[in-house]
Chain A
Amino acid sequence: EAGVVQSPRYKIIEKKQPVAFWCNPISGHNTLYWYRQNLGQGPELLIRYENEEAVDDSQLPKDRFSAERLKGVDSTLKIQPAELGDSAVYLCASSLERGAPYEQYFGPGTRLTVT
Chain B
Amino acid sequence: GQSLEQPSEVTAVEGAIVQINCTYQTSGFYGLSWYQQHDGGAPTFLSYNALDGLEETGRFSSFLSRSDSYGYLLLQELQMKDSASYFCAVSYSSASKIIFGSGTRLSIRP
A interface residue numbers (CB < 8 A to B): 31, 40-45, 48, 50, 56, 91, 93, 95, 97, 100-109
Contacts and interface: CB of A to CB of B under 8 A. Distances in A.
6 contacts: A42-B87, A43-B87, A101-B95, A103-B48, A106-B44, A108-B41
Contact of B42 (A42, A95, A109): A109
Interface string B79-101: 00000000101010011111111
Interface residues of B, number: 23
Contact of A43 (B30, B31, B45, B100): B100
Given A31-B96, A43-B43, A109-B42, A102 B101 contact: no
B96 A101 contact: yes
B45 A104 contact: yes
Contacts of A50: 96
Contacts of A97: 96
The listed residue with most B CB atoms (<10 A of its CB), out of A44, A50, A105, A106, is A106
A102 B48 contact: yes
A102 B95 contact: yes
